[in-house]
Chain A
Amino acid sequence: MAVCVCVIGKDNGPIYMRSRSRADELSQTVEHNLSQMAFRGVTANTELQYNFIVSSALDIIEERALVGSSASGYKGNPSLHPSASGGAVGSIDGQQLATRELYLGALTAREEYKVYGYMTNTKIKFVIVIEETSIPLRENDIRTMFRKLHSAFCDLMSNPFYLPGSSINSKRFDAVVTSIMSGQ
């Protein structure tokens, strides 16, 4: 179940951010705000939290993109399970091919959610946060999500009223994102 969809511009600034949880409204006073922020742990499930998750995922996106472009070694699978790792080492060349594609795979894995990344040729990054549920999503489902997102973005780009690089507020795009997040 996708809980957060984010589009990040060339310059690594977010141009679209949408998350399942209601946006946490500003706290009234500094003190209150403070207690709140103290409360926000690593797993506080607020929209802010998604911001944090996605932004730190950027590091890895950049890294992978870099690796991909500099035609060298690693695209791997973040889990440290020996078999997986074995795969990682064994299939270096295979992974190079992997980076040539826009889908960057899972960036970070946590108990409660996974973060997936996708970068267009034009350095536009899509990040989708998937909530780990009983029914695990298959890799292909993720890919389709991204593909939907990408074509939506292309349509957006073809809209003369959208200034490339500016933050997105298009009903049409919203609709697509909603459909992605609602999981069909």
Chain B
Amino acid sequence: MALPPQSTSTTAPPDELPLELLHGELIFSGILLSKDKEGDINELLSKLEFIGFSTGYRLIERLLKDSTRFKDELDTIKFICKDFWVAIYKKQIDNLRTNHQGTYVLQDNCFKLLSKISATKQYLEHGPKFLAFTCGIIRGALSNLGISSVVVAEISTMPTCRFHITIQRAT
């Protein structure tokens, strides 16, 4: 379903720059500069993803302090798309789709962490690196809510990106 797009989504007030800059630095000097073999970079990325995980895990605790209990899974995901996303990226997810079988696709048309990088193909191959952290955040938030999931992200054209959340049903 489509969520009402936020008017303030494109223009970035300065107060959110720090996150972007920090994150950018993390990626650039933390990962890209480590001129090592592919395996090493993946390792670093997964570390970053885990950092995201625990960040989300702890963050959700606070964000949900005053909200009521969720009705169901979809309710939770919606929260991620709205309040949660706003809390981090000052905008909502632009589009949420689901197959009602535990797969959700969150689309952000102007993902903050990519918005400053490029609108062209210039750095496209680096794009994914900038999503690992956020994937972790989502996964962490959900897992603290008792939903274990796998989150993967894809970039079609910068700075648009999609997060695919696949819920792992306890079998």
Q: What is the interface of chain A, defined by CB distance below 8 A to chain B?
A: 10, 68-69, 71, 99-102, 119-123, 150-151, 153-154, 157-158, 164
Contacts of A157 in B (CB 8 A): 58, 61-62
Given A121-B145, A122-B146, A123-B146, A164–B58 Cβ distance below 8 Å? yes
Report A40 CB to chain B, min CB distance, Å: 36
Chain B residues in 8 Å Cβ range of A164: 54, 57-58, 144
29 A-B contacts (beta carbon < 8 Å): A10-B146, A68-B69, A69-B69, A69-B72, A71-B71, A99-B69, A100-B68, A101-B69, A102-B69, A119-B69, A120-B61, A120-B65, A121-B60, A121-B64, A121-B67, A121-B69, A121-B145, A122-B144, A122-B145, A123-B146, A153-B61, A154-B61, A154-B62, A154-B65, A157-B58, A158-B58, A158-B61, A164-B57, A164-B58
B28 part of interface (Cβ distance < 8 Å): no
- For the complex, would chain B's binding face be called helix, strand, loop or mixed by DSSP majority? loop
Interface size on B, residues (CB 8 A): 17
**Alpha-carbon distance A122/B145, docked complex (angstroms):** 5
Residue of B nearest to A123 (CB): B146
Is there contact, CB below 8 Å, between A122 and B60?
yes
Q: Which 5 A-B pairs have the closest CB atoms?
A: A100-B68, A157-B61, A121-B64, A154-B62, A157-B58
Q: Which residues B69-112 have CB closer than 8 A to chain A?
A: 69-72
Chain B residues, Cβ within 8 Å of A100: 68-69, 71
A122 adjacent to B69 (CB under 8 Å): no
Of chain A, the residue at the smallest CB distance from B61 is A157
- Assembly CA distance A102 to B70 (angstroms): 10
Q: Which residues of the other chain, B, contact A150 by a CB distance below 8 angstroms? A: 65
- The minimal Cβ–Cβ distance linking A148 to chain B, given in whole angstroms, is 11
When distances are taken between beta carbons in the complex, the residues of chain A under 8 Å from B71 are 69, 71, 100
Residue of A nearest to B140 (CB): A164
**From residue B75, how far is it (CB to closest CB) to chain A in Å?**
10
A21 to B68, CA, bound (A): 34
- Residues of B contacting A10 with CB < 8 Å? 146
